[in-house]
Structure 1
Amino acid sequence: MSDAAIPGRPAAFAVARVAALTACSGLLFGYSTASIADWLEPIAAVFSLTVRGQEYLTVSLVISCFFGAVAAAPLARRFGRRMALTGAFVLAAAGYGVVLTEPSLSLLVFARVLIGFAVGISSMVAPMYAGEATPADRRGGVVALFQLAVTLGILAAYAVPLILLDHSAWPLAIGGGIVIPLAGLLMLVAVPESPSWLIAARGDAAARAAAGALGVPTPHAAPSTAGHALPSLSLRTGATLAVLALCCGLFILQNLSGIDGILYYAPTIFTELGFPPGLAALGATFGLGLINVIATVIAILTVDRLGRRPLAIYGSLVMILGLSAVVAAHLWDMPFLGLAGLCVYIAAFALSLGPLPYVLMAELMPSSLREAGLSAASATSWLFNALVALFFLTGVTQFGLSTVFMFFALICLFALVISIIWLPETKGRSLEAIEENVLKGVPLRQVGR
């Protein structure tokens, strides 16, 4: 499809198309990262993997996500958001195709590297595109839809082992994720390029046509030209550096709050809490994924009404309570208290530290630095994600589940403090108004006013 406007298309339809593309990227993220969780033991048995080997297999995808996020900025800046997402979906489809062939260990790792690189690109570009291509009054919900799709992808990954009880079916179970990038490629045909990218790459006419098709205002020309390096002084303009620090900090807190350990190793956690291995642990894991989806739906419905700050503050507080319940459950041998605590934590995470970093990074970064800033924030996220994936099982083995979860609770306390002191409220504000405040050096807490 060309970037020209399509006369007569209502704004609601344009929002729906952007939302569907955003959802495909989120599904890719969620399914790709979680699909290994319930098949880790069967795969370990096939390839004789130790605990450390299981961590390395898990982290092979995650560390590739880091490199994909680093590459996302130059790709999105030079070739546009649509082309960057096209490359990501093609790589992911290729990786899943390799998994379907029942590969050797080396080919399995190679496939996970391809998928991880693709997820790293799309996890940065898709929220950015959604933020640029959605009207201000719907932006928070559409960007947060990325996180909802992540949770749906996770839920699907947790559901498959309950359907395919054959442990030897892991190539089909994991490789079946190929349908997600294929759907993403189809959705890319239905959306125009981002007006924010077009204004610099092709000029005002192309940007105005795309903005008309999407139902968003035509953006002002950015001070930089697409495909060229951004001046280093831009980071020192106004509150830009503070915004970048906040976005990176939120992603660090998001990943160190415990979500990645729970995401990748949920069956092991439930076994540690006292649930019998097998269907009981798998069922509890699926229940956790279901809570994640329900809470994220609530977040999408409320993020543009309640605002970013209340969700971040109260969500962090409830996450602390949920993690504390898990610690108590492990110490006192109360498995169902642990399950309840994890459900409370997951629900609170899905309302706060889950979607909000994506929403805020798409809203706060100035247009001239948006690709580089979002790439830095996304790469930071994947780096700390990889650290948790690499050391979680080792940490539980050496220090115990209670100690690991107390560390997660402490991280959530930091998130609470940062949300109270520095987090701005941006609901209902246009990207242009937010950017003007950032470049003028308005204090971080006030840039959304």
Structure 2
Amino acid sequence: MRGRYVDANSIYKRSTRDNTINAYDKEQGSVRLPNGVGKDIGNPSWQRSFPHILVATLSSFLFGYRLGVVNETLENISHDLGFHGNTMAEGLVVSTCLGGAFVGSLFSALIADGVGRWRAFQLCALSMIIGSSMSATAKNLWGMLLGRLFVGTGMGIGPPVAALYVTEVSPAYVRGTYGSCTQIAKCLGLMGALFIGCPAKETEGWWRICFWASAVPATILALFMEFSAESPHWLFKRGRGAEAEAEFEKLLGGPYVKGEMAELSKSERGDEIDTVKFLELLYGHHHKVVFIGSTLFALQQLSGSFVALFFMDKLGRKVLLIGSFSGMVVAMGLQATSASSLVSSSNEVYLSVGGMLLFVLTFASDAGPVPGLLLSEMFPGRIRAKAMSVCMAVHWVINFCVGLLFLWLLEQIGPFVLNTIFATFCLLAVIFVKKNVLETKGKSLQEIEIALLPPE
């Protein structure tokens, strides 16, 4: 099905590149009528690309489900597999996923650039199906840990590939809305895991059903990706120009193909394969955007939906991030104040609960969904997959450290100092975003690249 288009690499050779760009630019945003008069065709319909986005968000749903599946079932798992009361073993069941996710995120760029975005989704789904099956049939702790490691590897591959895919197949005017869909899918996955896990305490062996259940959406993801569009950006970068045109027509409609191909031609070369090495991302031409991306993910974790769905394409990414992190400063301030001697015991609970609710609201609405989309927009096409891989690796390392050390720090330094530290990181995030982050709302990926990167 994917091989029916002939390779038209010669059309986009460098010798004719300028002529191609000029020809495309004349028709971008308009269509010629028989009398020669140009007509503005406006934005492409979101309905063409939405089904493809919907399939891709299944990987985010699985991400949320796999994070939450042990919440209600861990006690029963520990009883059945013989490690009840061993807190280290219980911690390993939870955290092995994070270790696997770190490994998966490191290889996500090689997979996404090597075999394409939709094949990467299928590998993510396959890893989760294998891991779910191993966990569901585990007879001892080691079987469970091995299954969780496979699942974590799929979890590490999924988020960066989903961010890449959403960025590269979405029309610019709804890219933010589509990006927030991945966060909503994660929340739905987490809620689904909690709901399915409710009978675990009363029903013997129910935890095995909970693990088997995640194989269903993983199988759907693997199957439906066969009918979904491949990223035109990836195809064009691999020199498969004719296929890229066909995918743009599927996603946006015929009148928009030439304009989109012109945009690609300005920043990509169809006869050149990406050869950027990981170490090159840490210095030189691209180090600034990679630093911004890694720092945003680190601050997101150290700072401790539906709002983003409606406002990301209206207010912009930068405004939402500043507002979100500012709200989290207030939330952590309330939490710290509730733990101080300045507040009476009767008011302590109100401040604490209020701070917690405000934190969840402000994080889930903006700081949670925005970075993944924003960073995939900021990175130029030739490094996008590798740069997302580096940033997600930072995300998983910081996530693991926070989860591992939180209770120990709470015991050692107390809630007042700990919440003050988190509030400080939130404030640093506000300053960092204001100084370094470019607003990407409504801009094409090529416009963003030109604005961010100095000429080589």
Q: Scaled by the length of structure 1, what TM-score is found?
A: 0.82
Distance 1:338 1:441, change over 3 A: farther
Question: 1: distance between equivalents of 2:338 and 2:418?
Answer: 13
Superimposed CA distance per residue, residues 168-221 of structure 1 (whole angstroms, 9 cap, x where no aligned partner): 422223442222212211331231211111012242111111111111723226
* Conserved? CA contact 1:3–1:209, under 8 Å: no
Question: 2: distance between equivalents of 1:441 and 1:402?
Answer: 48
Of the three residues 194, 197, 206, the one matched with 2:231 is 194
* Conserved? CA contact 2:127–2:151, under 8 Å: yes
Residue 428 (structure 1) aligned with residue 442 (structure 2): yes
SS in 2 for 1:47: coil
Superimposed CA distance per residue, residues 243-279 of structure 1 (whole angstroms, 9 cap, x where no aligned partner): 1111110111111222xxxxxxxxxxxxxxxxxxxxx
**Could you list the runs of 5+ residues in structure 1 that have no partner in the other structure?**
259-295, 443-449
Residue 126 (structure 1) aligned with residue 166 (structure 2): no
Residue 381 (structure 1) aligned with residue 395 (structure 2): yes
Q: Higher mean Cα deviation, 366-375 or 162-171?
A: 162-171
Residue 48 (structure 1) aligned with residue 84 (structure 2): yes
Superimposed CA distance per residue, residues 37-59 of structure 1 (whole angstroms, 9 cap, x where no aligned partner): 33334444551343333333221
Distance 1:18 1:141, change over 3 A: same
Of the three residues 24, 27, 32, the one matched with 2:58 is 24
Matching residue's letter, 1:327 = A
Question: 2: distance between equivalents of 1:354 and 1:32?
Answer: 18
Distance 1:402 1:194, change over 3 A: same
Distance 1:27 1:223, change over 3 A: same
Q: Higher mean Cα deviation, 87-96 or 52-61?
A: 52-61
* Conserved? CA contact 1:144–1:358, under 8 Å: no
**1:13 equivalent in structure 2:** 47
Residue 316 (structure 1) aligned with residue 325 (structure 2): yes
SS in 2 for 1:198: helix
Question: 2: distance between equivalents of 1:40 and 1:255?
Answer: 24
Question: 2: distance between equivalents of 1:16 and 1:362?
Answer: 18
Larger radius of gyration: 2
What RMSD in Å do the two structures reach over aligned CA positions? 2.6
* Conserved? CA contact 1:2–1:192, under 8 Å: no
**Could you list the runs of 5+ residues in structure 2 that have no partner in the other structure?**
6-43
* Conserved? CA contact 2:241–2:270, under 8 Å: no
SS in 1 for 2:292: helix
In the TM superposition, what are the counterparts of 1:54-65 in structure 2 within 5 Å? 54-65=90-101
SS in 1 for 2:227: coil
Question: 1: distance between equivalents of 2:449 and 2:274?
Answer: 21
Deviation at 1:428, TM superposition (A): 0.1
Q: Higher mean Cα deviation, 208-217 or 422-431?
A: 208-217
Q: Higher mean Cα deviation, 171-180 or 53-62?
A: 171-180
Residue 350 (structure 1) aligned with residue 386 (structure 2): no
In the TM superposition, what are the counterparts of 1:33-182 in structure 2 within 5 Å? 33-45=67-79, 46-166=82-202, 168=204, 169-182=206-219
Distance 1:161 1:336, change over 3 A: farther
Distance 1:327 1:242, change over 3 A: same
Distance 1:187 1:324, change over 3 A: farther
Question: 1: distance between equivalents of 2:427 and 2:52?
Answer: 35
**1:246 equivalent in structure 2:** 292
Question: 1: distance between equivalents of 2:249 and 2:441?
Answer: 23
Q: Higher mean Cα deviation, 205-214 or 394-403?
A: 394-403
* Conserved? CA contact 1:17–1:190, under 8 Å: no
Question: 2: distance between equivalents of 1:39 and 1:323?
Answer: 30
Q: Scaled by the length of structure 2, what TM-score is found?
A: 0.81
* Conserved? CA contact 1:4–1:213, under 8 Å: no
Matching residue's letter, 1:213 = K
Distance 1:32 1:403, change over 3 A: farther
Residue 395 (structure 1) aligned with residue 441 (structure 2): no
Q: Higher mean Cα deviation, 37-46 or 138-147?
A: 37-46
* Conserved? CA contact 2:325–2:426, under 8 Å: yes
* Conserved? CA contact 1:250–1:415, under 8 Å: yes
SS in 2 for 1:440: coil
**2:249 equivalent in structure 1:** 212
* Conserved? CA contact 1:18–1:191, under 8 Å: yes
